Structure 1
Amino acid sequence: MPRHRFGLIAAAILCATHLPWALAQSPATPATWPSKPLRIVVPYPPGGSSDIIARAISQPVSAALKQPVVIDNKPGANGNMGTDAVAKSTDGHTLLLCDVGALAISPSVYSKLSFDPSRDLRGAAMLAYSPHLLVVHPSVSANNLGELVALSKNSKLDFAVTAIGSAPHLAGVAVEKATGARWEYIPYKGGSQAISDTIAGQTQVLMNGMLATLPFVQSGKLKVLGVSKATRVPLLAQVPTLQEQGVQGFESGTWQGVLMPASTPPAVLAKLSAELTRIIRMPEVRERLVAQGAEVHTMNPAEFGAFFERERRHWATVVAQGGVKLD
């Protein structure tokens, strides 16, 4: 066989054997993405605010992007375990849906993290916000923040938190410092577990996102004493804000957003952002969430990134003031 023909055949074989690898390594584009099922990682147990939102959007996302959507609850280490899994994922089809505030807190609270949220993740879209509710077990005699603070000064009250260093924990620390209250913080592995133990009377006080907590207030299983928002919320119009009750300038809550690994092509991130924003604004989705106490609050990737950095700086100050640090 002539040498040049052998060279052409060898080159053809080489191209053929490397073609699947080349296709697999070629970057995703909006036209080709998604090419397989999507996995939404919620780094908390089922039943919390992030889980509720993930399940509210999963079917519409599946219909819009023409791929199955799987919700994967991966709790652990105050959300860091599931977040780390997404930050290190390379399949291009793994999403993180979490409390963005909690994510912004982690770099200040943990001396060692296996990921850097600012470096390893990119925000696709902000979806919703719900303020924290300050609630107590119905047996607690206090009917407002002042009475609760007075009770705590007589004897420390068990204060359930989703985790040490979480946004509800730091909100509790802020209220404690502003009022002179005395809490004994009891950490849990997620909001749903903290709620369950407060309902059972194992703990007396809880601050948690309104989205997950409101149903238990409405059923009488928990008593609400305040809302951590600048203005009252329509669903609880009779409940004063914590600012009205003397905690000046105080506002806290849970911000649910979707992120992907930093390696995600910007065009894919933009496509996902547009679809998520459209879906969360759909009347049936919006009305379902609003009825549960969440406000639809959207941001595109650029707005999301700027918001995250503001949150990171804000919580770094709160953490430093509260002296909260975990290894």
Structure 2
Amino acid sequence: MKKAKSWLALPLAVCMFAVMIFSVAEAAETSDENPAEGRQEITIINTNHITWPVIGEMPSYELEVPAGAHYFINMVEWTTKNGENTLLSTDKFEEGEYELHVTYEAKEGYQFAAPELITVLSGNEVQGTPKVEESENGWYRIVTFSFTARQSEKHQHDMLVVQEKLPTCTEAGYKACYQCQSCKKLYLDKAGTEETMVEEITLPPTGHQYQDGICTVCGEIDPDYVKPHEHSMTAVQEKKPTCTEAGNKAYYRCETCGKLYLDKDGKNETTLEKVTIAVTGHIYRDGRCVVCKALVPAVKTGDFDNDYAKWVIGLLISLNIIVGAIIYRKSRKIG
């Protein structure tokens, strides 16, 4: 009986060893995606190594974590707000908002907790609450810090003189001032004690000064200018009326627009009716016009519509009646 049990111990040990080898192989196969159990989680990231961006200074990419930290820095990147532009190590901070993106990598035997479980210690050099982002696994965490660049307490202005620029008809100008090449701010004095703004030193455009359709300052042509009408005058001499033809006063006629004027400059407009002088008509005496010597028109046979002819005929009839009455009266006396 004892011998049988001793015989069974060897196969049983072999089976247990095979199961152990299979388990180790399975664990090694999944370690890339899931950190092995037993690693300690990192739940705190210290930010004492972060420095605030200063206007006029270059960004620092040489960051170090506190001594004794269970993680190290894998990558550092400075960008403008929302990651729009990446800063090089030779660039300088200007006035505005920036972000620092730091990728932390866990040391061997450690792994980072889930992003929402990590506490970023906010020191004096950190603005607001840093943002922790997820990575492929627990080995990495990306932390984003937000900053508003500030003036250096020991800032020395590097002033550049900005010469005055007079405005033109269409372009604005500006007053003379100084601009610091480090902080980019404007000042009215070289010492940098009187700060100013672009709006305060800007001189607005003067605008065009048009005269007869042309700017007297820059020579620009007025697109809305309408050239006034220029008269082309012809003098019409005075003409006296006659017995049969109308006359007219002296006047001027514009050959371009056809209007009539009493003066050569075309200021006093008139009409044909106003300058026309009516005919005088004949003045007959003894059968002849005393003005133009024209004879009284001859009476035509059958022309009973002529007043003169009617007058002659009436006269003859009246004479015949008178003569007839006289003859009749004498004949009665004789009889």
Same fold (TM over 0.5): no
TM range (shorter): under 0.3
Higher helix fraction (1 or 2): 1
TM-score, length basis structure 2 = 0.22
Greater percentage in strand: 2
TM-score computed with the length of structure 1 as normaliser: 0.23
